[in-house]
Structure 1
Amino acid sequence: MAVSIAIETPLQDDVRGLVARLNDHLQPLSPPEFQFKMTVDQMAGADTTVFVARDESGKAIGMGALKLHSAELGEVKRMFTDAEVRGKRVGSALLEAIVGLARQKNLSTVVLETGTGEGMAEAHRLYTRSGFVTRGAFLDYPASEWSAFFEMPLNQEQPA
């Protein structure tokens, strides 16, 4: 399957649809107070870069974002792929694009918060396969049984 990934505005109907499907997926997995969702308007802020994956027909099939917290720290936000493309490396390609941008920006660390439980097992596998390691809570996220925290320290040397 041919997939293209590009930086796009989240203020498009098809990207709004991805956000809505992500929210629907997350809703039953944890209490609302432990769901740290960015709205589409927040995703469109100057501190956030949104990547959209599209199939060969141009349909939006996945997304992910890099939110900058400082000159050293970035956070992966709103990672999602449609169910019909899971297992086809769309999520991996999105995550590679996000980490690549973090490297371009000379960030020293990329972090992420995600849910726990069976509904998030695929996401955990993606993050650990991609080089993220578990860590404790960061920023203003509370430590809880509903959240898992990951980080990827970035060396600034690019592989040959």
Structure 2
Amino acid sequence: MREVEILVDDLSDGSIIQLLEDHLAEMRLYSPPDSIHALDTSAMKDASITFWGARIGGELVACGALKQLSPEHGEIKSMRTDKRFLRRGIAAKLLERILQEAQSRAYERVSLETGTNEAFTPAVGLYRRFGFEECGPFGTYRPDPYSRFLSRAL
């Protein structure tokens, strides 16, 4: 496999937005609308969110984001790998980069919300390998049978 390049992305070429629109369509298969917490296009451009794109030969293969919840707490958002590139370690490299940024921002904690459906099992496994543990809802989230919350101290 060619080298994966992970860079901050300003969303201007539309490739991340398209990947996340595909993600949102898939989420609708597993969760009711009020239990889907994926960012919509307007929310993606919020100043509190930094996006990274993982590219191979210039082609977007994965993305992820870090949202500042407070000066001490960040949230991982919008982790998605193109289906053609699953199980190649790209998401792990992207998560490493996002966690490096969280540490450089001096966050004390990083959290995330993901789904409870079996389709989310591989993602949960990745997060657990990076030290994330189950936690309760954080930020503006509320208990939801379709949401699983994970967090880790930095």
TM-score category, normalised to shorter length: over 0.9
The aligned residue for residue 36 of structure 1 is 37
2:12 and 2:20 map into 1 onto residues whose CA distance is 11
2:5 is the counterpart of 1:4: yes
Within-5 A mapping of 1:8-157: 8-56=9-57, 58-154=58-154
More deviation, 101-110/41-50: 41-50
Matched residue type, 2:61: I
CA-CA distance at 1:44 after TM superposition: 1.9
- Alpha-carbon distance in structure 2 between the residues aligned to 1:78 and 1:11: 16
SS in 1 for 2:21: helix
- The one-character-per-residue Cα deviations of 1:92-112 (angstroms, maximum 9, x if unpaired) are 111111111000000000000
**Are the counterparts in 1 of residues 69 and 139 from structure 2 also a CA contact under 8 Å?**
no
**Structure 1 residue 19, shift from structure 2 partner:** 1.1
Higher mean alpha-carbon deviation, 12-21 vs 109-118, is at 12-21
Q: What SS does structure 2 have at the residue aligned with 1:45?
A: coil
- Tell me the amino acid that sits aligned with residue 78 of structure 2: R
Mean Cα deviation higher: 101-110 or 16-25: 16-25
Q: What's the CA shift for 1:11?
A: 3.3
Q: Offset at 1:41? A: 2.7
Number of aligned positions between the proteins: 153
Identity %, equivalent residues: 32
Secondary structure of 1:15's counterpart equals helix
In structure 2, stretches of 5+ residues that fail to align are: none
Which AA in structure 2 matches 1:64? G
- Whether the aligned pair in 2 keeps the contact of 1:69 and 1:75 (CA below 8 Å) is yes
CA contact under 8 A between 2:111 and 2:152: conserved in structure 1? yes
1 CA distance for matches of 2:69 and 2:144? 22
Per-residue deviation at 1:7?
A: 0.3
3-state DSSP of counterpart to 1:69: strand
Asked whether the 8 Å contact 2:64–2:94 carries over to 1, the reply is yes
TM-score, normalised to structure 1, is 0.92
What one-letter code is carried by the residue in structure 2 that aligns with 1:113? E
Runs of 4+ in 1 over 3 A off after TM superposition: none
The 2-side partners of 1:11 and 1:29 are apart by: 29
